[in-house]
Amino acid sequence: MINRRQLSRTFALGVAASRSRKFANAQENPAGSASWINVLPGIWKATVGTPEVFTPVRSRLMPPAQDKFSQLPNVGAPPLSALAGRVTERGCVLQISMPPGELIYGFGLQLLSFSQRGKKKTIRVNADPKLDTGDSHAPVPFFVTTRGYGLLVDSARHVDFYCGDARPRPTHSVKATLGAVNTPDMTRKLALQDPGEITIEVPRAKGVDVYLFAGPSMREAVQRYNLFAGGGLVPPEWGLGFWYRAEQHGDSAAITKLATEFRERQIPCDVIGLEPGWQTHAYSCSFAWDSTRFPDPKQFVSNLAAQGFQVNLWEHAFTHPSSPLFDSLLPCSGDYGVWGGLVPDFAGEKARNVFGDYHGRTLVDIGISGFKLDECDSSDFTGGWSFPDFSRFPSGVDGEQMHAVFGLRYQQAIWQEYKKRSRATYSLVRSSGSLATPYPFVLYSDLYEHRDFVRALVNSGFAGLLWCPEVRDAKNAEDLVRRLETVVFSPLAMVNAWYIKNPPWKQIDRVKNNADHLENDWQTLETRCREIIGWRMQLVPYLLSAFEAYAANGMPPFRALILDHPTDAALAEVDDEYMIGDRMLVAPMFAGEAERKITLPDGKWCDFWTGKPVGERKFSLPAKTERIPVFVRSGSVLPLAHVGPHAGSPESAKLTVKVYGDGSLSWQGGGVAGSGLALSWDEKSRKGSVRYNDEGRKYTIAGWEQLGEPN
């Protein structure tokens, strides 16, 4: 049952705290083993010691999606016994027992590992996660386990999670045996199988709230977390089209020419992104148009809109003394700066309002569709790229806490301007954190290997995050194609060409590209890329329905296979394949690898491209495999859009329905009752039927196509 009093108290406390100028410690129960108190269906809270006031939940700005929990199974009792915890001079320590074989996933946007048992993860925002330490653009102190629960540690500090690798000392001597193990390897294997404990240290805090999310399986635990965060978002249709970021020095004429070229060459595109050069000063930012490059920004945006393009603007939040924002931000900024600019106190309402209001008036109002917040992810050791952990902010938070929420609260500052205007945004941000689920922002970076990009996408689904494995700096044509294939099967399909004047398919080499020395046969690669971008345009209705499920019941639109099949041991380590919605499985190809090993979950699967049934659960595909391997559940009925110039074009509203296998898995806007289009297939007559409900989009069905043979 819902404990509404508990919930509303929690939520109200957070809002009140975020409005107070200076946070003080809230009084909760004393230190010790803590019992679980039910706060929402299948969600419990336990408090150890006296938590800090500024935490992700206590300072939350979006309420839980309370009305949507009824879709999840009822769970009577918390899945864990009372929480063992103690307050120490260092902070506080929590202990959770872990039976043999239990596996752990999550911790936000992890790039370098997947299954976490036996490892240590530190939740620290850091732009350079080149080691598997937990550092990431968007780490989240939330995990799920195969026992079927999820746990959120409500802290904005650098929480350490020891996932069974911290082990109490032995207590008794044993007899010596000769010829024993003289290597650590076996000990490490044992650590994965022995019973152990998940041990969590929250630094500095004299107490902490912990939230427990019941299953019965990991899948429902993730759904509950997402609904607790406020529920998933549905992007605007254009957000699911194709994005292209132009070279950073391009002026309005150059950008307009590029846009025209896309239309002339029939390369679909919805969003054009501008990089630093649109501003009078960047690193740090002025947020003011450079009139030498953009003499009439409003007209420029309007002209692009007439061709069906949205405009997205790069920025970081560090505010240069020449910015019109400077004077009003100064009193609500941190005591340390970055690149000679102010660090807005986004933990406080005032800085969010000042920053947001300026963006609303000067940029949103002229038609800018969204932003890309760079450099908010604490490039901690790059040298001068971030603010120190000991920074102090007027709201009362310190630099360590601010790092955890800087990207997240920026999202709030921007999003509220779009909400005020009843407009949608779909934007980019390089850092996020706890309870980010409802925010219409997608994470990105450019530092990583293609495999790491895919692993990040797989992990993102455990913690309410969206991830864009953007394409740039491809090593060669094969790499460009393989990366582009991945990104069109991701939450945001973007090529980031900030450093080259011509699209990468014309010339991959940076120097040659900028000297307009194009590849002799560039049209061949352009044709290939046009086709791949076309796949994205076909997918938009399917993607929309996957996001509708995210909003309706918290099911992440992009997720690990293990989340749908939590007891399938064969999937426990699969970190290079993922589900989109309930029907589609993607297994990206990686350039330069000899073959692609694929594992499918139990059940019948078809090849997405040919409809042919797949015979085996484990198999390999050769490197020359032409198209990215995608599989659909046999029986699926999938509506694919026709390829238009952009996602809002009339062509894009025409659908061809593909039927896989016996077509028994009818289509209901992604399986969610009450939204969109309903399609079903009658295997005997080999005919489909269409039904629109009240909220259905204005699609027309151009035809039905049965692929392969029913199996």
- Residue 283 as a binder of a copy of itself (CB under 8 A): the answer is yes
CB of 319 to a copy of itself, least distance (A): 9
Phi, psi of 357 (to 5 degrees): -55, -45
Map the footprint of a copy of itself across residues 107-126, applying CB under 8 A.
118-120
Q: Which is nearer to a copy of itself, 218 or 288 (CB)?
A: 288
CB of 447 to a copy of itself, least distance (A): 12
Residues 230-249 that bind a copy of itself (CB under 8 A): 248-249
What is d(CA 482, CA 471) in angstroms, rounded to the nearest whole number? 10
Dihedral pair phi/psi, residue 703, rounded to 5°: 170, 170
- The Cα 210–Cα 202 span in angstroms is 11
Residue among 12, 181, 621, 673 that touches a copy of itself (CB under 8 A): 181
Q: Is 573 in the site for a copy of itself (CB under 8 A)?
A: no
Tell me: does residue 288 bind a copy of itself (CB under 8 A).
yes
Phi, psi (degrees; rounded to nearest 5) at 19: -90, -20
Structure tokens at 408: 């997240």
695 binds a copy of itself (CB under 8 A): no
CB of 63 to a copy of itself, least distance (A): 30
By the 8 A CB rule, do 396 and 351 touch?
no
Binding of a copy of itself at residue 378 (CB under 8 A)?
A: no
State the Cα angle at 204 between 200 and 205, rounded to 5°: 75
191: contact with a copy of itself by CB under 8 A: yes
What value, to the nearest 5°, has the Cα angle with vertex 554 and ends 549 and 558? 70
Name every residue whose Cβ is closer than 8 Å to that of residue 17 and which is 6 or more positions away in sequence: 23, 26, 53, 54, 58, 59
253, 330, 569, 673: residue in contact with a copy of itself (rule CB under 8 A)? 330
d(CA 318, CA 385): 10
Number of Cβ within 10 Å of residue 523's Cβ equals 14
d(C-alpha 325, C-alpha 85), whole Å: 45
> Number of residues in contact with a copy of itself, rule: CB under 8 A?
86
Q: Which residues on adjacent β-strands are paired with residue 310?
A: 271
| Binding residue (CB under 8 A) for a copy of itself from 30, 99, 101, 384 | 384
Nearest approach, Cβ of residue 531 and a copy of itself (Å): 34
Q: Is 327 in the site for a copy of itself (CB under 8 A)?
A: yes
From the list 213-221, 231-239, 358-366, 376-384, the region that binds a copy of itself by CB under 8 A is: 376-384
Decide: helix, strand or coil at residue 462.
Answer: coil
Quote the DSSP letter at residue 435: T
Please state the separation of Cα 629 from the chain's center in Å. 22
Q: Using the rule CB under 8 A, is 390 a contact of a copy of itself?
A: yes
Contact 387, 12 (CB under 8 A): no
In sequence order, what DSSP letters do the residues of 626-661 get, joined into one string?
SS--EEEETTBEEEEE---SSTTSGGGGEEEEEEET
90-109 residues in contact with a copy of itself (CB under 8 A) are: 90, 93
- DSSP-based three-state secondary structure for 489: coil
Q: Does residue number 273 form part of the binding site for a copy of itself (CB under 8 A)? A: no
Question: Which amino acid is present at 535?
Answer: W
Residue from 161, 115, 122 nearest 139 by CA: 122
CB atoms within 10 A of CB 614: 17
Q: Among residues 8, 33, 81, 88, which is the contact residue for a copy of itself, using CB under 8 A?
A: 88
Q: Does 61 bind a copy of itself (CB under 8 A)?
A: no
Q: Is 356 in the site for a copy of itself (CB under 8 A)?
A: no
295-324 positions binding a copy of itself, by CB under 8 A: 321-323
Out of 381, 567, 569, 595, which residue is the one contacting a copy of itself (CB under 8 A)? 381
| 691 is a site residue for a copy of itself (CB under 8 A) | no
Of 79 and 139, which CB lies nearer to a copy of itself in the complex structure? 139
CB of 401 to a copy of itself, least distance (A): 10
User: Counting contacts by CB under 8 A, is residue 89 touching a copy of itself?
Assistant: yes
- Site pattern 488..527 for a copy of itself (x: CB under 8 A): ----------------------------------------
Among the residue ranges 57-65, 84-92, 559-567, 639-647, the one whose residues contact a copy of itself (CB under 8 A): 84-92
DSSP 306: H
One of 5, 67, 76, 168 touching a copy of itself (CB under 8 A) = 168
Nearest residue to 108 (alpha-carbon basis) of 94, 78, 129, 84? 129
Rule CB under 8 A: say whether 345 interacts with a copy of itself: no
350 near a copy of itself, judged by CB under 8 A = no
Q: Which stretch binds a copy of itself (CB under 8 A): 198-206, 515-523, 535-543, 696-704?
A: 198-206
CB of 542 to a copy of itself, least distance (A): 39
